[in-house]
Amino acid sequence: MSYLKLNLAALAGLLLLTAAPARAQDGGALLDLLVKKGIVNNQEAEDLRVQMMKDFTANTSAGKLNLSSAISDFKLSGDMRIREQYETQAPEVNPTNVTNERFRNRIRFRLNGDVGLQKGWSAGFALETAAATDSGNQTLQDGMDDYGVFLARAYVGWKPNLNWNFVLGKQKNPLYTTDLVWDADINPQGFTENYTKFIGAKDTFEVRAGQFIMDDRAETTAGPSGRDAWLFTQQAVYTHWFGKDEIGNLTSSFIIAPGFMKYNGSVLDGLTGEGALNTTTRYLTNFVLPGEINFVNKQGKGTSWKLYGDFSHNFEAANRVQQVYGIAPTAGFSTDANAWLLGAGYALGTGKVQGEYSLKVDYRRIGIGSIDPNVNDSDFGFSFLNQAGWKGAFSYNVTDFTNFNLTYFNTKHVQNGLNQATIAARNHTQLLQVDLVVKF
């Protein structure tokens, strides 16, 4: 062996011994080169290659976690939230006797696994710390007992091409919506379909539909209570982009999404969400119209203004209020078919970088006969109908992955004296949430 040959062989050996994955690949390429140049022969190269593989598997994690070859990507994510919650609820009858004043220390843990598979298929799950549909919170209590973890999502998806997407099972809510009509914590279950048509540079027109199974009934029972309960939702979502930045990218957007939701005639029971109403699904036939406009200035750190809103009208409000909620026409109350929300927001950045922040304020009014109390936000007026008021939210990025959030709700009844034990029993409410959220 010449001096040069010895030195190169030593270099190859050194590379192999370091054994990090990238080095192992570099080592293989270097071996090929050494053979090509005639510095080592094939047998020597093969011996070194075997030694390299041994070192590689002994000193790295590669190959020790075995994933199915059908998987194209596997994303594990989640968040941990520490919440201090202060609330007051004044009953409609004798409102000066605030009976529900309390302070709670709560945690929420969520873990998501989303698996991309070949041929457009996907599957996933999510775990969280509470069984209620509209909350993942676990109040800290019971002398340091441990807590349950629940299955919040379990789904199979199929995206045959860029235009179509189908998801079956318990899944992330695919609807474009606000928290006027849908609590953001809800993971609906059933079948969803999404069709996207691409228009021009960036605009889209989508049709999103969901057939959500709300409850299982025993078919041996005669009539509506022997029929499984389904909620049918469908909407058209139009997204338009405008407002070019200095390099010609479209940065501002406008979204409008008229839709329609309706139940079949059935009965719900066993629901445990905030303000859950275990009764007939009848007389909820809603037109919904959420939308937003975003003005984004990408210069510097990037600031944005947002205006957002929502509207819902129940075509069967009179029957809902009188026959389901039991409020007699002679009581003299309006059956109030409409709910609406209007809000504005300002943000520095997109909430993913240390030092960024956002502010949002909205006002909403929820008529007694307007929306479904089983899917509306659990925090605004504690899910009670016949409430109007404010929500304010502030979020600050302590780090890229840690947020400090402050959220405050202040609501008051719409119709004075209207009292229904399950869905309209509050004169006024307040809720303050102080959160530290770490995302991973």
Stretch of residues binding Ca ion (CB under 5 A), selected from 154-162, 167-175, 181-189, 298-306 = 181-189
Compute the least distance from the CB of residue 135 to Ca ion, in Å.
5
Residue 267 beta carbon to Ca ion: minimum distance, rounded to whole angstroms: 12
Residue with the closest Cβ to Ca ion? 378
Structural contact between residues 380 and 395, judged by C-beta atoms closer than 8 angstroms: no
**Among the listed residues 114, 140, 187, 198, the one whose alpha carbon sits nearest the alpha carbon of residue 164:** 198
Task: Give yes or no for a contact between 363 and 341, defined as CB atoms under 8 angstroms apart.
Answer: yes
CA distances from 182 to 36, 211, 329, 336, 413 (A): 66, 15, 29, 19, 20
Is 148 or 248 the residue whose CB approaches Ca ion more closely? 148
Is 174 within 8 Å of 208 (Cβ atoms)? Answer: yes
Q: How far is the CB of 378 from Ca ion (least distance, A)?
A: 4
CB contact set of 90 (below 8 Å; sequence gap of 6+): 96, 97, 98, 100, 426, 427, 428, 429
Among 114, 128, 185, 362, the residue binding Ca ion under the rule CB under 5 A is 185
Interacting positions 210-249 with Ca ion (CB under 5 A) = 216, 228
Based on the shown chain and the rule CB under 5 A, indicate whether residue 128 belongs to the binding site for Ca ion.
Answer: no
* Binding of Ca ion by 134 (CB under 5 A): yes
Return the structure tokens found at 95.
């409102």
3-state secondary structure at position 263: strand
The smaller minimum CB distance to Ca ion, of residues 109 and 260, is found at 109
Identify the residue among 122, 178, 358, 378 touching Ca ion (CB under 5 A).
378
Q: How far is CA 96 from CA 89, 385, 426, 432, in A?
A: 10, 20, 11, 20
Smallest distance, Ca ion to C-beta of residue 139, A: 14
Binding test (CB under 5 A) with Ca ion, winner from 79, 183, 292, 356 = 183
Please name the amino acid found at residue 119: K
- What is the smallest separation between the CB atom of 418 and Ca ion, expressed in angstroms? 24
Q: Which is nearer to Ca ion, 146 or 216 (CB)?
A: 216
Cβ closer to Ca ion: 252 or 378? Answer: 378
Window of 283-291, 306-314, 372-380, 423-431 that interacts with Ca ion by CB under 5 A: 372-380
- The residues that touch Ca ion, with contacts defined as CB under 5 A, are 134-135, 183, 185, 216, 228, 378
